[in-house]
Amino acid sequence: EITISHRIIIIITTIILKTFSVNVFVRDHGSVVVMEIKFLVLGICGLVLRGSLLNKTTSDWLSRRIEISTPVSSWRRVVEGISLLDHGYSAFDGDVYHQSPLLLAFFRGLWSIPFAIDIAFVALDILTAVAFYHVANCFQTAMVTRQKKEQDSFSSGVEEILYKPIANIGIVTALVYWLNPFVIVTCAAHSTTALVNFMITWSILAAMRGRFLATCLGLSLAIHHDPYMVVMLVPLAMLASQKSSTSLTRSLLLTISMVAILSSGLLGLCYAQTESWDFLHATYGFVFSVPDYTPNVGLFWYLFTEMFDHFRTFFLWVFQLHVFFYVLPVSMRLREHPYFLLYVLSHVVGVFKSYPALGDTVLPLTLIFLWKHLFIYVRGILVIGVMFLAAIVLMPTFWYLWIVAGSGNANFFYSGTLAYNLAHVLLLSGCVTAFLRREFDLRHGKTPKLNGEPVTVVLE
């Protein structure tokens, strides 16, 4: 059954996609027109998938799935928070709501408008896809410009591994995001992870275009809702430094100062909204102290469930610092490559945060498409792909065996999450190794020689 909200979503998105498509492909006729139709059909397919899942039964079922919703992104908890406010209580009374008061105020304002929630989440996906379209085009322009500038330092015979522009990379990247199953189920479940992805993607786009204030505002909003996004401050400051031709130190200090000011303003708005500072403990305190052991696709819940209490504080520090530990060494090594640093740090956050969901890896899994020229160096790509597919199938299967059928236990489900996270780690490490090896080969040749004899290159 197609509801009024579904019809509204279809009409709005079709108009946007059609306008978007015509603007991009009106330059040519013939084969490009066929390509336009293909892209438009794919865009409408993504819309139809969302519309088919945005019914009450399916959406409620998806919002209960622990792979999609967590205590810090669950729509059901947002609804509970709105209900508490409507009955005259604070949303932070008890242990239900653990997200920003501003987010709650936003959705409470939409609550009384028919179909507004469905339209809002689909609109977020559309706007994020549009941002990825522009991000991809900016990335390709920057890569081609950099390659031309550095071409004199390249070795001979490296034409095969040079970056080659991809036709319609913006549209293809937008569709990679738009048709990602993780994005679709996140939208249908009304998970607020979609909002964080929207904010950080537009912040990246603003940094690529040299818009400093917009970059800091988008990053501040993303950090406000997901404090782990603070690690993205370094690569965005690097991009700002390159665009403004200022020193990295000055750009970093300016970015930190502006983000701190804007974040303080957001916290002040939260205080004005709640007239209390209790939300700090219920939001950021909840994320970093990890008191809720509800299973998810991450690594925290099982280990802290099984751990003795007197070890908990030590390992809590170890696990939380693990996310931030990579920022300094990786940033130093990739200080000339902020675009790749964006991918690396976003992937680290998506895997190692305390309450991850499938939607948290959408950003790196979309950005990695921009680095597809590295795949010729990545080993075991087929194995990694099979691991992803197996983990996605095994996690709900083992959950059913554990919770519904009662014929399994927590070890079953955790083994599925381990396979899922291992696949991400292998993909990340493979891409980092591939990037470093390609950079070496560009300057020393694919078959480097020492004293006229071929040598074996070992990356350490």
**pLDDT for res 217:** 95
Q: Is the pLDDT of residue 309 over 70?
A: yes
Q: Is the pLDDT of residue 446 over 60?
A: yes
**pLDDT for res 185:** 95
User: Which residues, other chains included, contact 321 with Cβ-Cβ below 8 Å and sequence gap of 6+?
Assistant: none
**pLDDT for res 11:** 55
Q: Is the pLDDT of residue 24 over 50?
A: no
Tell me the pLDDT tens digit for each residue of 205-258.
999 999 999 999 999 999 999 999 999 999 999 998 888 878 888 999 999 999
Flag the least confident range among 218-222, 306-310, 394-398, 420-424: 306-310
| Alpha-carbon torsion, ordered 361, 365, 371, 374, to 10 deg | 90
State the residue for tokens 């197609």: 2
Q: How confident is the model at residue 3 (pLDDT cuts 50, 70, 90)?
A: low
Is residue 177 within 8 A of residue 197, CB to CB? The reply is: no
Q: Which of 93-107, 213-227, 302-316, 435-449 has the highest mean pLDDT?
A: 213-227
| Alpha carbon distance 193, 184 (integer Å) | 12
| Alpha carbon distance 127, 124 (integer Å) | 5
Flag the least confident range among 24-38, 301-315, 331-345: 24-38
Tell me the pLDDT tens digit for each residue of 68-98.
999 999 999 999 999 999 888 889 988 899 9
Q: How confident is the model at residue 453 (pLDDT cuts 50, 70, 90)?
A: low
Q: Is the pLDDT of residue 14 over 80?
A: no
Model pTM? 0.89
**pLDDT for res 4:** 54
| Alpha carbon distance 389, 423 (integer Å) | 10
Q: Is the pLDDT of residue 373 over 50?
A: yes
CA angle (359 as vertex; 4, 181 as ends), nearest 5: 65
Q: How confident is the model at residue 36 (pLDDT cuts 50, 70, 90)?
A: low
The average confidence (pLDDT) of the chain is 87
Residue bearing the bigger pLDDT, 31 or 92 = 92
Tell me the pLDDT tens digit for each residue of 119-158.
999 999 999 999 999 999 999 999 999 999 988 888 888 8
Tokens of 28: 């040519």
Is residue 270 within 8 A of residue 99, CB to CB? The reply is: no
Burial 94-114 (b: 16+ CB within 10 A, else e): eebbbbbbbbbbebeeeeeee
Closest by Cα among 413, 168, 440 to 305:
413
Residue bearing the bigger pLDDT, 6 or 27 = 6
Q: How confident is the model at residue 459 (pLDDT cuts 50, 70, 90)?
A: low
Sign, Cα dihedral of 197, 199, 200, 206: positive
**pLDDT for res 318:** 92
**pLDDT for res 23:** 43
Q: Is the pLDDT of residue 322 over 80?
A: yes
